[in-house]
Copies of this chain bind each other. A is one copy, B any other.
Amino acid sequence: MSGRRIAGPEIEKLIQLLARVPGLGPRSARRAALQMIKKKDQLMGPLAEAMALVHERVTTCSTCGNADTSDPCAICSDPRRQTGTVIVVEEVADLWALERAAAMPNVLYHVLGGVLSPLDGIGPDDLSIAALVDRVHAGGISELILAVNATVEGQTTAHYITDRLADYDVAVTRLAHGVPVGGELDYLDDGTLAAALKSRTKF
Protein backbone atom coordinates (compact mmCIF):
# COMPACT_ATOMS: atom_id res chain seq x y z
CA MET A 1 0.00 0.00 0.00
CA SER A 2 3.07 2.23 0.04
CA GLY A 3 2.05 3.47 3.49
CA ARG A 4 -1.25 4.84 2.16
CA ARG A 5 -4.60 3.49 3.13
CA ILE A 6 -6.66 2.30 0.23
CA ALA A 7 -9.31 0.75 2.40
CA GLY A 8 -10.66 0.93 5.91
CA PRO A 9 -8.68 -0.45 8.87
CA GLU A 10 -10.54 -3.79 8.88
CA ILE A 11 -9.50 -4.65 5.32
CA GLU A 12 -5.94 -3.38 5.87
CA LYS A 13 -5.70 -5.56 8.96
CA LEU A 14 -6.98 -8.58 7.03
CA ILE A 15 -4.35 -8.02 4.32
CA GLN A 16 -1.59 -7.65 6.91
CA LEU A 17 -2.56 -10.91 8.60
CA LEU A 18 -2.96 -12.77 5.31
CA ALA A 19 0.56 -11.66 4.36
CA ARG A 20 1.84 -13.66 7.36
CA VAL A 21 0.31 -16.91 6.10
CA PRO A 22 3.05 -19.10 4.59
CA GLY A 23 2.64 -19.22 0.82
CA LEU A 24 1.17 -15.72 0.65
CA GLY A 25 3.28 -12.56 0.46
CA PRO A 26 2.10 -8.94 0.68
CA ARG A 27 1.13 -8.96 -2.99
CA SER A 28 -0.80 -12.21 -2.95
CA ALA A 29 -2.35 -11.25 0.39
CA ARG A 30 -4.07 -8.35 -1.39
CA ARG A 31 -5.18 -10.62 -4.20
CA ALA A 32 -6.46 -13.15 -1.66
CA ALA A 33 -8.36 -10.45 0.27
CA LEU A 34 -9.98 -9.18 -2.92
CA GLN A 35 -11.01 -12.66 -3.95
CA MET A 36 -12.49 -13.26 -0.51
CA ILE A 37 -14.44 -10.01 -0.73
CA LYS A 38 -15.66 -11.04 -4.16
CA LYS A 39 -16.65 -14.48 -2.90
CA LYS A 40 -17.87 -13.07 0.37
CA ASP A 41 -20.46 -15.68 1.18
CA GLN A 42 -18.94 -18.65 -0.64
CA LEU A 43 -15.37 -18.22 0.63
CA MET A 44 -14.76 -15.52 3.25
CA GLY A 45 -17.67 -16.39 5.51
CA PRO A 46 -17.05 -20.16 5.60
CA LEU A 47 -13.28 -19.63 5.96
CA ALA A 48 -13.70 -17.26 8.91
CA GLU A 49 -16.03 -19.76 10.51
CA ALA A 50 -13.76 -22.77 9.87
CA MET A 51 -10.80 -20.87 11.24
CA ALA A 52 -12.65 -19.77 14.37
CA LEU A 53 -13.83 -23.34 14.94
CA VAL A 54 -10.35 -24.84 14.56
CA HIS A 55 -8.93 -22.05 16.73
CA GLU A 56 -11.44 -22.89 19.43
CA ARG A 57 -11.18 -26.67 19.23
CA VAL A 58 -7.65 -27.55 18.14
CA THR A 59 -5.68 -29.37 20.75
CA THR A 60 -2.61 -31.57 21.08
CA CYS A 61 -3.31 -35.30 21.12
CA SER A 62 -2.25 -36.51 24.56
CA THR A 63 -1.23 -39.86 23.07
CA CYS A 64 0.86 -38.91 20.02
CA GLY A 65 1.24 -35.12 20.00
CA ASN A 66 -0.64 -34.63 16.70
CA ALA A 67 -2.72 -31.47 16.31
CA ASP A 68 -6.42 -32.19 16.00
CA THR A 69 -9.81 -31.13 17.24
CA SER A 70 -10.27 -34.32 19.24
CA ASP A 71 -8.11 -36.03 21.86
CA PRO A 72 -7.14 -38.76 21.08
CA CYS A 73 -6.69 -37.54 17.52
CA ALA A 74 -8.31 -38.98 14.37
CA ILE A 75 -5.24 -41.14 13.79
CA CYS A 76 -4.90 -42.53 17.31
CA SER A 77 -8.61 -43.35 17.44
CA ASP A 78 -8.63 -45.17 14.09
CA PRO A 79 -9.05 -48.89 14.94
CA ARG A 80 -7.38 -49.97 11.67
CA ARG A 81 -4.14 -48.48 12.86
CA GLN A 82 -3.53 -50.71 15.89
CA THR A 83 -0.80 -52.62 14.07
CA GLY A 84 2.02 -52.12 16.53
CA THR A 85 4.04 -49.82 14.30
CA VAL A 86 4.74 -46.24 15.45
CA ILE A 87 6.59 -43.65 13.37
CA VAL A 88 8.45 -41.11 15.50
CA VAL A 89 8.65 -37.63 13.94
CA GLU A 90 9.96 -34.26 15.01
CA GLU A 91 6.95 -32.12 14.11
CA VAL A 92 3.26 -32.39 13.22
CA ALA A 93 4.21 -31.25 9.70
CA ASP A 94 6.31 -34.41 9.29
CA LEU A 95 3.37 -36.57 10.42
CA TRP A 96 1.14 -34.89 7.82
CA ALA A 97 3.77 -35.30 5.11
CA LEU A 98 4.09 -39.03 5.85
CA GLU A 99 0.31 -39.45 5.89
CA ARG A 100 0.09 -37.63 2.58
CA ALA A 101 2.68 -39.99 1.07
CA ALA A 102 0.52 -42.85 2.41
CA ALA A 103 3.41 -45.28 2.02
CA MET A 104 2.47 -47.00 5.30
CA PRO A 105 -1.21 -46.34 5.73
CA ASN A 106 -1.96 -48.13 8.98
CA VAL A 107 0.69 -46.84 11.35
CA LEU A 108 0.50 -44.70 14.44
CA TYR A 109 2.76 -41.76 15.18
CA HIS A 110 4.64 -40.04 17.96
CA VAL A 111 5.46 -36.35 17.63
CA LEU A 112 8.55 -35.37 19.60
CA GLY A 113 7.98 -31.64 19.31
CA GLY A 114 11.54 -30.98 18.19
CA VAL A 115 15.03 -32.47 18.51
CA LEU A 116 17.71 -32.52 21.17
CA SER A 117 19.84 -29.43 20.83
CA PRO A 118 22.13 -28.71 23.79
CA LEU A 119 23.26 -25.43 22.20
CA ASP A 120 19.65 -24.19 22.17
CA GLY A 121 19.06 -25.56 25.65
CA ILE A 122 16.69 -28.25 24.40
CA GLY A 123 17.07 -31.44 26.44
CA PRO A 124 15.06 -34.67 26.68
CA ASP A 125 12.54 -33.11 29.07
CA ASP A 126 11.63 -30.50 26.47
CA LEU A 127 10.55 -33.22 24.05
CA SER A 128 7.90 -35.90 24.49
CA ILE A 129 10.49 -38.64 24.95
CA ALA A 130 9.26 -39.79 28.37
CA ALA A 131 5.77 -40.13 26.87
CA LEU A 132 7.23 -42.25 24.08
CA VAL A 133 8.96 -44.53 26.58
CA ASP A 134 5.66 -44.78 28.47
CA ARG A 135 3.87 -45.81 25.28
CA VAL A 136 6.44 -48.51 24.61
CA HIS A 137 6.31 -49.57 28.27
CA ALA A 138 2.51 -49.92 28.06
CA GLY A 139 3.03 -52.60 25.40
CA GLY A 140 1.56 -53.31 21.99
CA ILE A 141 4.30 -51.57 20.00
CA SER A 142 6.52 -53.92 18.03
CA GLU A 143 8.37 -51.41 15.83
CA LEU A 144 9.40 -47.78 16.21
CA ILE A 145 10.45 -46.11 12.96
CA LEU A 146 12.59 -43.08 13.77
CA ALA A 147 11.67 -40.66 10.96
CA VAL A 148 13.66 -37.71 12.30
CA ASN A 149 15.48 -35.33 9.98
CA ALA A 150 18.87 -36.39 8.63
CA THR A 151 20.57 -33.62 10.62
CA VAL A 152 23.11 -33.89 13.44
CA GLU A 153 20.40 -33.03 15.99
CA GLY A 154 17.97 -35.48 14.42
CA GLN A 155 20.49 -38.30 14.53
CA THR A 156 21.55 -37.43 18.10
CA THR A 157 17.90 -37.57 19.11
CA ALA A 158 17.50 -40.93 17.35
CA HIS A 159 20.48 -42.36 19.24
CA TYR A 160 19.22 -41.03 22.54
CA ILE A 161 15.79 -42.62 22.00
CA THR A 162 17.38 -45.93 20.97
CA ASP A 163 19.43 -45.92 24.20
CA ARG A 164 16.40 -45.17 26.34
CA LEU A 165 14.54 -48.11 24.79
CA ALA A 166 17.43 -50.58 24.98
CA ASP A 167 15.66 -52.71 27.62
CA TYR A 168 12.41 -53.03 25.70
CA ASP A 169 11.55 -55.67 23.16
CA VAL A 170 10.84 -53.25 20.34
CA ALA A 171 12.52 -53.05 16.93
CA VAL A 172 13.90 -49.55 16.36
CA THR A 173 14.48 -48.70 12.70
CA ARG A 174 15.23 -45.54 10.77
CA LEU A 175 14.51 -44.22 7.28
CA ALA A 176 16.88 -45.28 4.51
CA HIS A 177 19.34 -42.77 3.15
CA GLY A 178 19.63 -42.54 -0.62
CA VAL A 179 18.97 -40.67 -3.80
CA PRO A 180 15.61 -38.85 -3.70
CA VAL A 181 13.19 -40.17 -6.34
CA GLY A 182 13.64 -37.89 -9.34
CA GLY A 183 16.84 -36.50 -7.82
CA GLU A 184 19.86 -35.79 -9.99
CA LEU A 185 23.13 -37.26 -8.83
CA ASP A 186 25.30 -34.23 -9.50
CA TYR A 187 23.14 -32.09 -7.22
CA LEU A 188 23.45 -34.45 -4.26
CA ASP A 189 25.89 -34.00 -1.41
CA ASP A 190 28.72 -36.49 -0.87
CA GLY A 191 27.17 -37.97 2.26
CA THR A 192 23.95 -38.86 0.45
CA LEU A 193 25.88 -40.33 -2.48
CA ALA A 194 28.05 -42.41 -0.14
CA ALA A 195 24.96 -43.64 1.74
CA ALA A 196 23.14 -44.46 -1.50
CA LEU A 197 26.13 -46.46 -2.73
CA LYS A 198 26.52 -48.30 0.55
CA SER A 199 22.84 -49.27 0.65
CA ARG A 200 22.69 -50.17 -3.02
CA THR A 201 20.12 -52.81 -3.95
CA LYS A 202 19.96 -55.42 -6.68
CA PHE A 203 18.60 -54.22 -10.02
Contacts and interface: CB of A to CB of B under 8 A. Distances in A.
A29 to B, nearest CB: 8
A198 interface: no
Interface residues of A, number: 62
Nearest to A1: B100
A44 B35 contact: no
A2 B102 contact: yes
Nearest to A2: B102
Given A99-B1, A100-B1, A92 B34 contact: yes
Counting every copy of the chain, the complex holds: 2
Nearest to A33: B54
A136 to B, nearest CB: 23
Task: Give chain A's interface secondary structure class.
Answer: helix
Given A18-B47, A53-B10, A37 B67 contact: yes
Nearest to A32: B21
B105 A4 contact: yes
B32 A70 contact: no
Nearest to A58: B37
Contacts of A6: 74-75, 95-96, 99-100
B100 A69 contact: no
Contacts of A46: 17
B4 A37 contact: no
A26 to B, nearest CB: 10
A21 B46 CA distance: 12
